[in-house]
Homo-oligomer: A and B are copies of this chain.
């Protein structure tokens, strides 16, 4: 691998973590390489830098494309495809969250919905359904909330996160604040 020690560590680490994140080592390393690379790279360069076979790189890139985690572009007077990781880390975060939700949550939600429609055959089924309902409701709420929050402007989100749990202070206040419908917001102490 013809990379600086700094990048190399980063790339290798992502390879290792890949397995914990449900992507394979190759894919993790390719992504890491693109992430720290200042310029887009073509498949040949990637294969060379990481010492993978050309076809392995091709499959890895395909995988990354399916995750919407790389951008494909062409350089003038060059037929080869160049790949890069999106610059905006927030966008990456969002993409990752979306994709994981699609793969890891949605199928479960839909299975749960089906299960909850079924008529319980006995007491055990009734209990099982109760548990499934709890699980369904929690997942439903958490994901839809996450979904909402996720699409806030990065700046707003940042502000929100920086507040941390202080946001609950606002919640406590909520009851005392009256928001007048119709665009204009008036603040006053109720009661």
Contacts and interface: CB of A to CB of B under 8 A. Distances in A.
Interface of A: 4-7, 9-10, 13, 17, 19-22, 35-38, 89-90, 93, 103-104, 107-108, 111, 114-115, 118, 120-125, 127-129, 131-132, 134-135, 138, 141-142, 144-145, 148-149, 151-152, 156, 158-165, 167-174, 176-177, 179, 185, 187-189
User: Which DSSP category, helix, strand, loop or mixed, fits chain A's interface?
Assistant: helix
A4 B125 contact: yes
Contact of A142 (B107, B161, B173): B161
Given A89-B135, A148-B165, A159-B171, A108 B13 contact: yes
Contacts of A108: 13, 17
Given A89-B135, A168-B152, A36 B127 contact: yes
A132 B90 contact: no
A187 B121 CA distance: 56
Contact of A187 (B7, B10, B35, B187): B187
A20 B22 contact: yes
A-B pairs, 9 with minimum CB distance: A36-B128, A145-B161, A148-B164, A38-B127, A170-B170, A148-B165, A89-B134, A13-B111, A89-B138
B174 A118 contact: no
A4 B122 contact: yes
Contacts of A151: 165
A164 B145 CA distance: 5
Nearest to A138: B89
Contact of A90 (B138, B158, B170): B138
A151 B111 CA distance: 29
A10 B127 CA distance: 13
Contacts of A134: 89
Contact of A160 (B38, B135, B161, B167): B167
